[in-house]
Structure 1
Amino acid sequence: MSRFTVTYRIFASNIEEAKQRAENIALEQTVEIPRDIVPKGYIEDEILGKVEEIGQESEGTFKAIISYSPDSVGDELAQLNNVIFGNSSIQTGLKVIDLDLGETLASRFKGPRFGIKGLRQKLGRPTGGMISPVIKPQGSSVEDLATIAYLCALAGADIIKDDHGLTNQHMAPFKQRVEAISAAVAKANAETGGNALYFPNIAGHVGEIDAFAKFAKEAGAGGLLIMPGHFGFAAIDHLARAPDLDLPIMAHPAFLGPYVLSEQLGFTHAMMFGTLQRLAGTDISVFPNVGGRFGFTKEQCQSIAKACTEDDSIGQTMLPSPGGGMSVERAADMAGMYGDDVVYLLGGSLLRYQDKIGEGIRDMRTALDAI
């Protein structure tokens, strides 16, 4: 049984301090008792975390690789995340920068069900970037949202996505909205021969997730949008594994900002929006784009895209989906930055077209196809 490893960036004044912190992390993330009372035998030899490697990364930072036993995890994603960064996440000067599942856990956590290849097959788009308009704003009627979705699908959008602020409010209740928009997208597909997919935002209380997801599938939705920052990564893992659901999953980054925005705390951008998403079974990972209103840098966005699309990671590759500040005018620059395997999220800039929103979709497709 192969151990898995987590790589941490430790902020310390010297190597001795860093080594002590690494040993403390190995204890904290597993047995959570003082080192001198760790029971001999199985617990000490197998369960206790082990510092495999540590060295200086830069002035004031050190990189520590700590291995853990799959026995400390079982097959629950929540517990795996707990071992990766449970109590230690409450400490300062510590950041998770890499994860290697090893063979044993890789067989338990298989990653995205569809991934890039499966989604391209569903969408009938073997190459090139994909376009995903966001239907909004909150407060709109079901009829207005369905009209927007119809016009977008008619114009050649690949994925029509609910805004994450659309849940189960009385203005456009989940079930009514999903039925109307699924029918509108199906109507457009029938008229164009297209394969646009509608991803409704999963709503309801925690105990209602399964029922809402099942309803969406029966109504004709082509995928699901969910917010792991609110429902937890385990909710994605649950939906991705459900044998009777079989829908691709898009994850929205709402509520996840505090995990990445500190230089000395949390996770790297690539870990949060790339590695951890693949681990949970996400097929499309949404994140704030460079040049938008959220302040992610080009390097951070590129690191996310790499974590989504590199082969040497968890399960199948998945699609990065940058949003915010996206426009037709930026299409060439964004294609140069992200390559072919990307879902472009279009929101406010697209809505400026109003009842001619289809022209915005066609303009974006023309710009992407010309690259």
Structure 2
Amino acid sequence: MERITAQYYIETPLAIEQAAEVLAGEQSSGTFTDVPGETEELKERFAARVESIEPLDTVQNPSLPGVSVDSKGHSYQRANVEVSWSIENFGYNLPVMISTLQGNLYELRQFTGLKLMNLEVPPSFSDYFNGPNFGIEGSRQAAQVQDRPLIGTIIKPSVGMSPGQTAELVDTLVDTGIDFIKDDELMGSTANSPFEKRLEAVMKVINRHADRTGKKVMYAFNISGEMDDMLRRYEQIVKSGGTCAMLSLNSIGLSAAKKICDQGELVIHGHRNGWGMLNRHPLLGIEFPAYQKLWRLAGVDQIHVNGIQNKFWESDDSVVKSIKSCLKPLLGGYSILPVVSSGQWGGQAPETYRRTGTTDLLYMAGGGILGHPGGPAEGVKALKQAWEGTVEGKSVEETADKYPEFAKSVQKFGGNQ
């Protein structure tokens, strides 16, 4: 019988083997005591198995509070642990699978640290989950961009503008040659910008521009909300000629995201706002390699990964690992486009390319475009120049010497590096 495996990074005052068995038992057929009915036959078929244990370092203070033993004088052992479950335990039910792989694990007092690092699903998952309908290639085709990153921006101010004001900004942006624009995650349907009116105003601009130039800029409308509202807004985007919808993944959940992705007509832009609460502590939550696989299975086409030298807490090493995890094949396909964002401008392009070796990115810049000294048109041009110079092997200085628009970016943003 096929099995799903999960890798955990743990910390415990107990013997590692004992703690690992508690983990496996709690998340399958066992509980805190023997119970009638838990036969050897049942355990053989349904109990989780500890597949491997790799001891790591020992520390003197717990990373998280709450242990089930008198920890006075104890040290805390860290380890990588791999556990597997039979597919029979949950079938092809993503919510129950996540309840199994995570669920109550974070509550166990035997652990002073636990993080889901990665997971592997068997090939049969491809028979039950279609994965992304568009992914990297479909996103490129929809935006009509090849051989470089898609260049995108975010509507700012995040909230407060009327549909007409938003459309005016979009009109300015589409004329710059930009590939992608999105609602901010804070924008849904506000008192002064109802979703339907904003959609109508924005798509009028985008469709007019497409009729004139042949290029339809991808706009990610934030449809996050109740299920019926999301489905209705999805259909409204399709009818208006739009190509993309945005979901706040952590807010709506896996099942809702999958339902939207299963509609199959729009590119789905996955925003991970709330990511810090899942990952910021080094010994609690979930790592991005595992996280992005869940959303790939649900069918998300694009997903945020933060960016090099970002404005948030995440390290460059973590961002690079996230990008590479998105580009690693899953189930023979299921491609997902990494969305680089957070305080980005062209100056981070060389380091991003050096460390990832890819242009399969949606490179998002808000202030880096809208705050360019020469205005948004020069901001978009500067980002394209930055990536052109980067792929040619030029340094930031060499690219600035060649392109005046990028040079202005360096003058304004270069001191922030």
State the TM-score, normalized to the length of structure 2. Answer: 0.82
User: Which secondary structure state, in structure 2, belongs to the residue aligned with residue 282 of structure 1?
Assistant: coil
Q: Give the paired residue count.
A: 366
Is 1:281 aligned with 2:299? yes
| More moved, 23-32 vs 294-303 | 23-32
Selected match of 1:309 from 316, 327, 331: 327
Unaligned runs of 5+ in 1: none
Task: Please name the residue that 1:5 is paired with.
Answer: 5
**Aligned partners of 1:194, 1:4: CA distance in 2, in Å?**
43
Task: Please name the residue that 1:188 is paired with.
Answer: 209
Task: Please name the residue that 1:21 is paired with.
Answer: 19
Maintained 8 Å contact 2:199/2:237: yes
* 1:341 alignment partner AA: D
**Aligned partners of 1:160, 1:32: CA distance in 2, in Å?**
50
**Aligned partners of 1:28, 1:191: CA distance in 2, in Å?**
61
Unaligned runs of 5+ in 2: 59-76, 392-417
Maintained 8 Å contact 1:279/1:314: no
* 2:318 alignment partner AA: Q
User: Which secondary structure state, in structure 1, belongs to the residue aligned with residue 99 of structure 2?
Assistant: helix
Maintained 8 Å contact 1:110/1:315: no
- State the Cα distance separating 1:86 from its structure 2 match: 0.8
Judging changes above 3 Å, is the alpha-carbon distance between structure 1 residues 354 and 161 closer, same or farther for their aligned structure 2 residues?
A: farther
**Aligned partners of 1:42, 1:283: CA distance in 2, in Å?**
42
Is 1:329 aligned with 2:328? no
* 1:12 alignment partner AA: T
**Aligned partners of 1:289, 1:351: CA distance in 2, in Å?**
18
- State the Cα distance separating 1:354 from its structure 2 match: 8.8
Judging changes above 3 Å, is the alpha-carbon distance between structure 1 residues 24 and 276 closer, same or farther for their aligned structure 2 residues?
A: same
Maintained 8 Å contact 1:154/1:192: no
Judging changes above 3 Å, is the alpha-carbon distance between structure 1 residues 219 and 32 closer, same or farther for their aligned structure 2 residues?
A: farther
- State the Cα distance separating 1:214 from its structure 2 match: 1.7
Task: Please name the residue that 2:402 is paired with.
Answer: none
- State the Cα distance separating 1:276 from its structure 2 match: 2.8
**Aligned partners of 1:308, 1:140: CA distance in 2, in Å?**
34
Selected match of 1:98 from 118, 128, 137: 118
Maintained 8 Å contact 2:369/2:375: no
**Aligned partners of 1:57, 1:106: CA distance in 2, in Å?**
35
**Aligned partners of 1:6, 1:246: CA distance in 2, in Å?**
33
Matches within 5 A, 1:46-85: 46-59=45-58, 60-85=77-102
**Aligned partners of 2:195, 2:316: CA distance in 1, in Å?**
36
User: Which secondary structure state, in structure 2, belongs to the residue aligned with residue 109 of structure 1?
Assistant: coil
* 2:45 alignment partner AA: E
Judging changes above 3 Å, is the alpha-carbon distance between structure 1 residues 330 and 34 closer, same or farther for their aligned structure 2 residues?
A: closer
Structure with max Cα Rg: 2
Task: Please name the residue that 1:30 is paired with.
Answer: 28
Matches within 5 A, 1:1-371: 1-13=1-13, 17-34=15-32, 36-37=34-35, 39-40=38-39, 43-59=42-58, 60-91=77-108, 92-137=112-157, 138-242=159-263, 245-272=264-291, 274-312=292-330, 315-338=333-356, 339-353=358-372, 356-370=375-389, 371=391
Judging changes above 3 Å, is the alpha-carbon distance between structure 1 residues 43 and 281 closer, same or farther for their aligned structure 2 residues?
A: farther
- State the Cα distance separating 1:62 from its structure 2 match: 1.1
- State the Cα distance separating 1:167 from its structure 2 match: 0.5
- State the Cα distance separating 1:314 from its structure 2 match: 7.4
Cα deviation, 1:101-154, whole Å, max 9, x if unaligned, reads: 012334323432211122222222222111111112110111121122222222
Judging changes above 3 Å, is the alpha-carbon distance between structure 1 residues 220 and 266 closer, same or farther for their aligned structure 2 residues?
A: same
**Aligned partners of 1:336, 1:70: CA distance in 2, in Å?**
40
- State the Cα distance separating 1:83 from its structure 2 match: 1.4
Judging changes above 3 Å, is the alpha-carbon distance between structure 1 residues 330 and 54 closer, same or farther for their aligned structure 2 residues?
A: closer
| More moved, 126-135 vs 285-294 | 285-294
Judging changes above 3 Å, is the alpha-carbon distance between structure 1 residues 55 and 334 closer, same or farther for their aligned structure 2 residues?
A: closer
Identity of aligned residues (%): 25
* 1:27 alignment partner AA: G
Maintained 8 Å contact 2:140/2:150: no
| More moved, 159-168 vs 356-365 | 356-365
* 2:50 alignment partner AA: V
- State the Cα distance separating 1:205 from its structure 2 match: 2.7
State the TM-score, normalized to the length of structure 1. Answer: 0.91
